[in-house]
Amino acid sequence: MAILVQKYGGSSVATPERIKAVARRVVAARERGYQVVAVVSAMGDTTDELIALARQITQRPPRRELDMLLATGEQISIALLAMAIHDLGYPVISLTGPQGGIITDNTHTRARILRVEPDRVRSELNAGRIVIVAGFQGINPANDITTLGRGGSDTTAVALAAALNAEICEIYTDVDGVFTADPRVVKEARRLEDISYGEMLEMASLGAVVLQPRSVEYAAQYGVVIHVRSSFHEGPGTLVREERKVERDLMVIGVTHDTNVAKVVITDVPDRPGVAYRIFSALAEDAINVDMIVQTTKRENTTDLLFTVSRDDLPRTLEITEAVARELGATGVLHATDVAKVSIVGAGMVSNPGVAARMFQALAENQINIQVISTSEIKISCLIDEGSLQRAVRAIHEKFQLHEVPARVGRER
Ligand code: ASP
Ligand code: MG
């Protein structure tokens, strides 16, 4: 029997009624002849509430204890979903991440899955049960509970799908799929029929919150096909899979934006070998993800080093960089949070000169100043003033005529 992994996000299990609706969907998949594994997130805003609760005790909760706390969110939803499925008359069992064999490294609050030991899940499936697994959590080699970072249930689902050789990994969420831009910002935004792993990874990393970037990386590594769909209504959703056929006029498939960005500038850093290494290795040791990096030569023998991190990481980043800056003899550390990142993504842009110029033109026509630019083969990002963000996203969407994207994708098939 084929195995189907489904993942339901927090909004899909936010209330008892919604949990019952999810139970009916899970059971329907079983009726279609699948062995079903359902991965669930914590109900609604539970994870945010738990974080806020910890902050009422201390500003700096030990990460191990934060994981112990956060993991309770998913434990509530797996038990309730299992009860709802039981009530419908189907054999079912709920398992925590550790019980489900999700083995992670030691990085509390943003652990990486090292491997999945699917024996328990498999034997429960073979005993005829529907298996509900808590997303977002695992166990490290020291037998401590870990969590996988915000949005980590997506990665739990993909990792289980890979380990169980599932036919597909369905991610049920509160949007209809992956869009050419955030539909709340651009009302002409269109749903994409399918998207490659590379493009999805960029979109997810650049602020499209549909999937945790790590889950896309994992899916690409193991060839897991992800189907992003709405848990509230039927619809075709978006397929994330190997390369889509790149059409010449489809060089850009989406505009993403991210406001969870902070800019840090270390001023007058001595210009000598090893300085960047010293700064960024210190941040890496604390698992702080640095995004855009620019080094500018100011006057002789010193440079300014600018980079961006997520706003959540800013307090730790400042602590670390201030210490390193003093040690290196830099004159100071400045920061700003009134910035945002707007990006375009598309596998076709590597072979199309002029894509960057068109993006900059859209910003110029709207008098939007670009503070930092960064590029890869399939994306271009600009750091701009947060206040101009919505205008920027709309202008770029329009400039690349992204409201026509699905029609063109449709012709391809
Ligand atoms: N509950 C966790 C979060 O809110 C994990 C997830 O939903 O994927 O980030
Ligand atoms: Mg999510």
Angle (CA) 132-78-236 rounded to 5° is 60
338 Cβ partners below 8 Å, 6+ apart? 385, 386, 387
Q: What is the pLDDT of residue 207?
A: 78
Q: What is the spatial distance between Cα 101 and Cα 119, in angstroms, rounded to a whole number?
A: 8
Q: What is the pLDDT of residue 245?
A: 60
| Cα(165) to centroid(ligand 1), Å | 24
- Dmax of the chain from CA atoms? 76
Ligand 1 nearest atom to the CA of residue 152, by list position: 8
Question: Three-state SS for 208?
Answer: coil
- 17, 179, 197, 295, 320 from 99: Cα distances, Å: 27, 35, 29, 47, 37
Q: What is the pLDDT of residue 332?
A: 94
Residue 356: name the closest of 371, 367, 365, 345 by CA. 345
Question: Three-state SS for 392?
Answer: helix
Q: What is the pLDDT of residue 410?
A: 42
Smallest CA separation from ligand 1 atom 8, residue: 151
Q: What is the pLDDT of residue 242?
A: 86
The single-letter DSSP state of residue 369 is P
Question: Three-state SS for 290?
Answer: coil
Is 6 a pocket residue for ligand 1 (Cβ < 6 Å)? no
Per-residue model confidence as pLDDT tens for the chain (413 residues): 899 999 999 999 999 999 999 999 999 999 999 999 999 999 999 999 999 999 999 989 999 999 999 999 999 999 999 999 999 999 999 999 999 999 999 999 999 999 999 999 999 999 999 999 999 999 999 999 999 999 999 999 999 999 999 999 999 998 999 999 999 999 999 999 999 999 999 999 887 788 999 999 999 999 999 999 998 888 999 999 987 665 545 689 999 999 999 999 999 999 889 999 999 999 999 889 999 999 887 767 899 999 999 999 999 999 999 999 999 999 999 999 999 999 999 988 877 889 999 999 999 999 999 999 999 889 999 999 999 999 999 999 999 999 987 644 543 43
- Locate all alpha helices (DSSP H) within 127-231, ordered by sequence: 153-163, 197-205, 213-222
The token pair at 55 is: 């902050």
Pocket test for ligand 1, best of 43, 53, 69, 150 (most atoms within 8 A of CB): 150
pTM check: above 0.95:
no
